[in-house]
Amino acid sequence: MTKQRAARTGAAPQVCAVAAELRDIEAVFEATGTLEAPLNVKISSKISGRINFLEAHEGDRVRRGQVLVRLDASEIEAEVRRQQAAVAEAEYRLAQAQINEGPTKTSVATQIKQQTAAVASARADYEQVQQNLASQVATKEADVSDLQARVQSAQAAIDNAKAHINSVKATLNNAVTKQNRIVELYKQGYIAAQDVDDAKAEVAVQQAALEAAQGQLSGAQSARESVLAQKRAAEHQVSIVKTKGQADIEAARQKLRQAEASLELAKANTAQNPAYQQGLKALRAGIASAKANLASARARRGDAVLTCPMDGYVTQRSADPGAMATPGQVLLTVQFFKQIWVNVSVPDTVSAVARVGQPLAVTLDAMPGKMFTATVVQINPSADPEARQFTVRAALDNSDKSLRPGMFAHVSLVTEKVAGAVAVPREAVQRGPEGEYVNVLDQEMKVQKRPVTTGLADAKYVSIRSGLEAAEQVVTLCAIPLKEGQAVTPGGDKKAGEGAKRQEGPGGQGGPRQ
């Protein structure tokens, strides 16, 4: 037994070793997010009325143009009939006046008093409509002015971003020039290799700063486009208010003209032809006014029927038949499901490298075992003021309607990738007092402690920037600490990520840098 123990003690330790290989290393950012519909439409009424028809429920599929809600239009129908009757009456009066162009016996004094009062009332209405239009236009134009100021502010941000880019470019050019000068000095042997590495690192830093500045410029330009869109919408609102206001003024003007014409008719002798012709003109104006009121009533009747603006599904129902609907009150919510968005919050370091069109790997708790691929469609350039996180939005195809808004998602985003790097399993890299190293086996199966510089790492492998070549054998597992020049016996390959215990060296265990 003593001889056997001594033999085992003097035998070369058995180790697991693998060859360094060339492989792609990716750094992956993982986070959780939620699904939401890209289009979320709130169906509301423009008028007040009791709900007579509302059969859609949560989960129902609806199509564009489908009738979703009908309001009680009995009062509006009555108004339409009243206006129809008013048009018919005005046309009858005109026909009667045209037939009876001869003198008519009227009480001129009574008509003058009545028509004078009518003119005063119509003039007051006309002036009130003008004042209302001026007030509404001033309010809308103030909104446009405010948005113009925001456009100028956004343009200033763009100019600042461009100036920053120029500054960073100048710094980058200076760093490149300095690097070239240092490389020449290094070739001539005047300076150390570390100075060359420092110069290259400075160039890389300035290049990253330039990319960040360009990202800021893109964000500022997006902000300006958003404000410009708001400004155009506000200008359109000004146009709408002016158009409607002019229509209201014209209607009031027609009423005033009608009243004035009636007054002139009352003042003149009805037997006089010029006065009678003014009466006919007033009657024609009355017909035009009645037809305008009829068109307005019919438009309000159309507002009593609410149709679906798009294909989708009902996700919320806020009212029932028999309830009263008021203007602006949300009755139904319809969402578009053919495509689903994944919203995920990321830190600024990830937001800086994410790009539109980049693929994301998505898994859902509700669908275990299934992997989905989403595409980044939006990156919010502004961080949440509380969480200091940026929102990245990616699109998922949902043609089979299996995905639903509100689902919990796990998202994986590749933030950095090194192609064709010399890589070893994580457990092969050791950390000692002088830094990181690997145990390399030479042709005589003896250990060489080789200092290395590590780079990007994933879950199983770590890239080696310097100190190791591809195909060299490195130790991944050993039962005892190894010494420089110690002979060992390879006991088989050990793949990364299989639960192996890390080697222990003089400096203890440690992992590679990310």
pLDDT (mean) for 199-217: 84
At 132 the pLDDT is 81
Phi and psi angles of residue 332, each rounded to the nearest 5 degrees, phi first: -140, 150
Question: Would you say residue 95 has pLDDT above 70?
Answer: yes
Q: What's the number of CA atoms in the CB half-sphere (13 Å) around residue 100? A: 11
Phi and psi angles of residue 315, each rounded to the nearest 5 degrees, phi first: -115, -10
User: Which distant-in-sequence residues (6+ apart) come within 8 Å of 56 by Cβ?
Assistant: 62, 68, 314, 317, 332
- Local structure of residue 428 (DSSP, 8 states): G
500 within 8 A of 476, measured Cβ to Cβ: yes
Question: Would you say residue 505 has pLDDT above 50?
Answer: no
| pLDDT band with cut points at 50, 70 and 90 for residue 503 | low
**pLDDT: is 290 or 498 the higher one?**
290
At 188 the pLDDT is 85
- Tell me what percent of the residues of the chain surpass a pLDDT of 70: 88
151-170 tens-digit pLDDT: 888 888 888 888 888 888 88
At 405 the pLDDT is 84
User: Which distant-in-sequence residues (6+ apart) come within 8 Å of 196 by Cβ?
Assistant: 179, 182, 183, 186
pLDDT (mean) for 189-216: 84
At 101 the pLDDT is 57
Integer Cα distance of 301 and 294 in angstroms? 11
Integer Cα distance of 330 and 332 in angstroms? 6
At 239 the pLDDT is 83
Neighbours of 429 (CB within 10 A): 26
pLDDT (mean) for 426-447: 88
Q: Using the CB atoms, write b or e for 316-336: b if 16+ within 10 Å.
A: ebebeeeeebeeeeebbbbbb
**pLDDT: is 127 or 511 the higher one?**
127
pTM: 0.42
**What DSSP element (H or E) covers 39?**
none
25 within 8 A of 512, measured Cβ to Cβ: no
**What DSSP element (H or E) covers 185?**
helix 108-187
Integer Cα distance of 298 and 245 in angstroms? 19
Integer Cα distance of 474 and 18 in angstroms? 6
**What DSSP element (H or E) covers 344?**
strand 339-346
Chain centroid to CA 419: how far?
Answer: 32
Question: Would you say residue 115 has pLDDT above 80?
Answer: no
Question: Would you say residue 513 has pLDDT above 50?
Answer: no
pLDDT (mean) for 390-396: 88
421 within 8 A of 23, measured Cβ to Cβ: yes
| pLDDT band with cut points at 50, 70 and 90 for residue 397 | confident
Give the least confident one: 55-59, 100-104, 107-111, 444-448: 100-104
Provide the strand spans (E) within 183-311: 305-307
pLDDT (mean) for 235-252: 82
Question: Would you say residue 298 has pLDDT above 80?
Answer: no
pLDDT (mean) for 380-395: 86
At 497 the pLDDT is 41
At 78 the pLDDT is 77
Integer Cα distance of 125 and 252 in angstroms? 7
Terminal C-alpha separation, the chain: 49
pLDDT (mean) for 401-419: 83
pLDDT (mean) for 210-234: 83
- Tell me what percent of the residues of the chain surpass a pLDDT of 90: 0
Neighbours of 479 (CB within 10 A): 11
At 425 the pLDDT is 92
At 499 the pLDDT is 37
* Bridge partners, residue 112, by sequence: none
Q: Using the CB atoms, write b or e for 242-273: b if 16+ within 10 Å.
A: eeebeebbebbbbbbbbbbbbbbbbebebeee
At 276 the pLDDT is 65
Rounded mean pLDDT of the chain?
Answer: 80
Question: Mean pLDDT: which of 74-88, 430-444, 490-504 is highest?
Answer: 430-444
DSSP string, 131-177: HHHHHHHHHHHHHHHHHHHHHHHHHHHHHHHHHHHHHHHHHHHHHHH
At 500 the pLDDT is 39
pLDDT (mean) for 480-500: 67
